[in-house]
Structure formats: structure tokens, C-alpha cells
């Protein structure tokens, strides 16, 4: 995710990093060359009546803009839902850590409490790695006992297995008389919330926007952009390529942004900063447990300050 100080209105016009322009530049240059060739052959096109009435593009452009707006709204909804789920993850892990500290006051239980909080932290990192399809072994090895970490390496849904271990911890605490039935219910309620968060993240990650819809919109945008020169060549002359590229940039950029936001858990520049959020959750749990917080490393998910 990109975090950047806002520049003045003038500098924003020339902003490069953080925009989708770099990835669109080859396509826009191709369209620019195509538009120049259309203008160059203008006499031939007019003679053969191969130009198009601009009114057609005006009407069709309005409809296309509405569809692109809908597509962007759908993608941003997915992005924002992902962010809300990770905000809830922060809140619920804090609640569970606090409950393990305030509801289990036995000093002899400190080591087991540390293990519970480490399980919570491992749960956060394992969810991040599952969503990004990355290797969680490093985080599991540093947070969990060797035996538990080895068992998890063969598990497909590691966050769910860790939820089971958290539930076993609560069950054992109840069996040992460290918590009563009401406290156990409070733990279980928050563990169920963690399960809901995993399910919500999996729903977003495994259910993309229907492919046929994306293909239709993609084709329509590019066909529209490459037909535009035929509509404006007669009236605008050599300024046509520059106007066409500007119009195309708007439509193509909107489609590219929607594609980028569709999967909010990825590693693209505008996706959620899961590395930074995982580090922050780990540190807030350490602080709750009166442990030394880890130094905050520079996140690996495209932070720009």
C-alpha cells in the first residue's frame, strides 16, 4: 500500500510513483501512434467515408463511464471490506490478549499466557501468508514451539488449526480452574469472531469478480479508445492524438485501478499493507503482555513516505 504526503495541486499533475501511469504508458503510446496514423491518412478516410460521427462516442462514452464507475465501486467495496476485516482482527486479538491477562491472574500461568499470545500472533501472520500465498515458516518458527510449528507446516488452513490450539488453551485453563464458565464463554465469543474474519478474508480472496464481466469491460474500453480517432479526426486535426490519449488514459486507468483493488490482499502498490498491520498487531500484543516491542522494520508492501 502506498502512503505518501500529498503534494501541491501542480506537483500532483506530474506524480509518477503511486499512479497507474507507468504500467499504462506502452498502451497509451501505441494509441498515440495509431491516432497519428489516422490523422496522417485523414484525406483518404474522408474520401472513403471511413470517419464516424462524434455524437456516437458521446452517447457511448457516458454509458461506458457508468459501467466503469460500477466496476470501481465493486472493487473498492472489496478493498474496504478487507480493511475492515483486518481492523476487526486487531480489535479481537487485543481483546483475547487482554482477557488472558486479566481473567487469568495466576503468576504461575505466565508462561502459558505467553504461549497463548504467541499463538494469537502466529494466527495473524499465518492468515497474512495464506491470503498472499507466501511461505509462513519463518514466522511460525520464531513464534511457536518447535513441535507445534512442525505440525502446522503440513496444514493447509493454518489459521484454522491455530484457532483450534487457542481453543484447546482455553479448555485447559477451564479444566485447571484458572477461569470460570463465564470467562470461557467470553474467550469463545472472541475466538468465533476470529473464525468469521478468516471466512470473510477467504471469501474475498477466493471469489473474484466474474471473469466474463471483466473481459467484456476490458474489450469495450479498448475498442472504444481505438475507434475514437475515427470520430474526431475530421474536426480536430493534428491535436486529435493528444485528446484521444487523454480520454483513453481516464478510461484505461479506471479499469486498471479496479483490477488492482479487486484483490486487496496482494502485493500490488495499492493493496492493503498486511506486513505493516501484522507487525503492528504483534507489537500491540507484546505491549499488552508487558513485553519489549520489536523494532518496526520497513514494510515490504510498497510503503512510500
Domain assignment present for 120? yes
- Tell me the per-residue pLDDT of 107-117, one tens digit each, with 9 for 90 and over: 778 889 999 99
Query: What per-residue confidence (pLDDT) applies to 23?
Result: 87
Q: pLDDT at position 60, please?
A: 85
Domain for residue 254, yes or no?
Answer: no
**156, part of any domain:** yes
> Could you tell me if residue 35 is inside a domain?
no
The dihedral through the CA atoms of 75, 279, 285, 5 has a sign that is negative
> How far, in Å, CA of 248 to CA of 262, rounded?
21
Number of domains in the chain: 1
**Domain encompassing residue 67:** 56-229+259-305
Question: Residue 305: is its pLDDT beyond 50?
Answer: no
User: What would the mean pLDDT of 33-39 be, rounded to a whole number?
Assistant: 92
* R_g over Cα of the chain: 27
Give, in order, the Cα–Cα distances in Å from 128 to each of 40, 79, 90, 198.
Answer: 53, 15, 13, 10
| Mean pLDDT of the 67-86 span | 93
Give the CA angle between residues 132, 278, 86 to the nearest 5°: 75
* Residue 32 resides in a domain: no
- Cα gap 24→280, rounded to integer Å: 34
Flag the least confident range among 42-51, 151-160, 239-248: 42-51
pTM summary value: 0.87
Q: What is the pLDDT of residue 153?
A: 87
CA 238-12-276 angle, to 5 degrees, is 135
Mean pLDDT for the stretch of residues 211-225: 89
Amino acid at each position: 500500500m502506498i502512503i505518501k504526503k500529498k503534494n501541491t495541486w501542480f506537483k500532483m499533475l506530474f506524480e509518477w510513483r503511486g499512479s497507474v501511469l507507468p504500467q499504462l504508458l506502452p498502451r497509451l503510446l501505441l494509441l498515440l501512434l495509431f491516432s497519428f496514423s489516422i490523422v496522417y491518412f485523414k484525406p483518404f478516410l474522408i474520401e472513403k467515408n471511413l470517419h464516424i460521427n462524434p455524437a456516437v462516442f458521446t452517447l457511448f462514452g457516458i454509458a461506458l463511464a457508468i459501467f466503469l464507475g460500477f466496476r470501481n465501486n465493486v472493487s473498492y467495496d472489496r478493498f474496504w471490506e478487507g480493511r475492515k476485516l483486518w481492523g476487526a482482527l486487531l480489535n479481537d486479538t487485543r481483546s483475547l490478549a487482554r482477557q488472558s491477562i486479566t481473567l487469568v491472574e495466576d503468576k504461575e500461568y505466565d508462561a502459558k499466557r505467553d504461549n497463548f499470545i504467541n499463538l494469537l500472533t502466529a494466527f495473524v501472520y499465518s492468515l497474512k501468508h495464506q491470503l498472499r500465498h507466501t511461505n509462513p515458516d519463518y514466522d511460525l518458527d520464531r513464534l511457536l514451539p518447535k513441535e507445534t510449528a512442525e505440525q502446522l507446516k503440513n496444514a493447509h488452513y493454518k489459521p484454522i488449526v491455530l484457532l483450534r490450539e487457542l481453543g484447546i488453551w482455553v479448555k485447559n485453563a477451564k479444566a485447571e480452574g484458572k477461569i470460570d464458565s463465564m470467562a470461557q464463554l467470553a474467550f469463545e465469543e472472541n475466538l468465533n469472531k476470529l473464525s468469521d474474519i478468516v471466512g470473510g478474508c477467504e471469501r474475498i480472496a477466493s471469489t473474484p469478480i466474474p471473469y466474463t464481466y471483466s473481459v467484456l469491460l476490458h474489450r469495450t474500453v479498448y475498442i472504444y479508445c481505438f475507434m475514437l480517432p475515427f470520430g474526431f479526426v475530421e474536426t480536430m486535426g493534428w491535436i486529435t492524438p493528444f485528446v484521444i490519449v487523454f480520454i483513453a488514459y481516464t478510461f484505461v486507468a479506471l479499469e486498471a485501478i479496479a483490477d488492482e483493488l479487486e484483490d486487496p490482499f496482494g502485493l500490488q502498490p495499492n493493496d492493503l499493507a498486511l506486513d505493516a498491520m501484522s507487525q503492528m498487531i504483534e507489537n500491540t500484543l507484546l505491549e499488552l503482555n508487558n513485553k519489549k516491542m520489536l523494532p518496526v522494520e520497513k514494510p515490504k508492501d510498497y510503503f512510500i513516505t
